[in-house]
Amino acid sequence: MRIRVVAVLADGRKHLLALELCGGESYEAWKGLIDGLVARGLKAPLLCVIDGHAGLRRAVGLVWPGAAVQRCCVHKLRNLERKAPKHVLAELRDDFHRIVYAPGLEAARAAWTAFERTWAKRCPGVVRSLREGGEELLTFFGFPRAQWKTLRTTNVIERLHEEFRRRVKTQGALPTEDAAVLLLFGLVATGQITLRKIDGYTKLAAVIRQRMRPAA
């Protein structure tokens, strides 16, 4: 199991901060990784975009209680799909997309209400799963619109993994898992795997100033 952390810097660049091997994705594994980042000098982030793993959410809340949290909308949709029969999946996706692709927070909340009204009796497990994500599925609406596409998912990490697999496919099996970790860091460090800047990066400075301003 590999757990990864990618940071977005103030100038919009993405940086692979950590990649660790562990026996399983657990609270202890995530807490150890985050503690290691803090020990290396990482300051608390303004926003953490995470999947739905409870151990990761707990670790983030404990170490960085002031950070905003955005739950990955792609992971949540997969969770919803697992709780619904196949013949309704297309309708389910459309209704969920009306929430996360809404033009603004107010419209997203209206779409959320409509979603619950539609699915509460048909697939109650779907509604329970949506509520589990709660407001953290909508955090990205508090940021500039140009950044929404990047902030609503953990796709940057998924794409990094896919690109790594593509690069090593022709090399055959690597001797150890540690060798795979070193190879990935090497490919990123030398620019053979690149991480483009976040969409809307020109607005990041203003976002940082606003969110770090002391409350009146």
Question: Tens of pLDDT along 95-106?
Answer: 999 999 999 999
Q: How many Å is the Cα radius of gyration of the chain? A: 19
Q: Which of 118, 140, 162 is a domain's end point?
A: 140
Range of the structural domain that residue 198 is part of? 2-72+154-206
Q: In this structure, are 53 and 8 located in the same domain?
A: yes
Confidence band (pLDDT; 50, 70, 90) for 179? confident
| Mean pLDDT of all residues in 22-42 | 91
- Indicate the average pLDDT of the chain: 90
Whether residue 35 lies inside any domain: the answer is: yes
Confidence band (pLDDT; 50, 70, 90) for 205? confident
Q: In this structure, are 28 and 41 located in the same domain?
A: yes
Question: Tens digit of pLDDT for each residue in 187-198?
Answer: 777 777 778 899
Question: Tens digit of pLDDT for each residue in 43-75?
Answer: 999 999 999 899 999 999 999 999 999 999 999
Contact status, residue 28 vs residue 20, Cβ threshold 8 Å: no
Can you give the CATH number for the domain in which 37 is found?
A: 3.30.420
* pLDDT confidence of residue 216: 45
Cα separation, 69 vs 205, whole angstroms: 19
Q: In this structure, are 27 and 67 located in the same domain?
A: yes
Whether residue 173 lies inside any domain: the answer is: yes
Q: How many domains does the chain have?
A: 2
Q: In this structure, are 68 and 159 located in the same domain?
A: yes
Q: In this structure, are 101 and 193 located in the same domain?
A: no
Could you tell me whether strands 68-71 and 47-50 are parallel, antiparallel, or unpaired per DSSP bridges?
parallel
Q: In this structure, are 25 and 49 located in the same domain?
A: yes
* pTM listed for this prediction: 0.88
Whether residue 107 lies inside any domain: the answer is: yes
What lies within 8 Å, CB to CB, of 214 at 6+ separation is none
Whether residue 215 lies inside any domain: the answer is: no
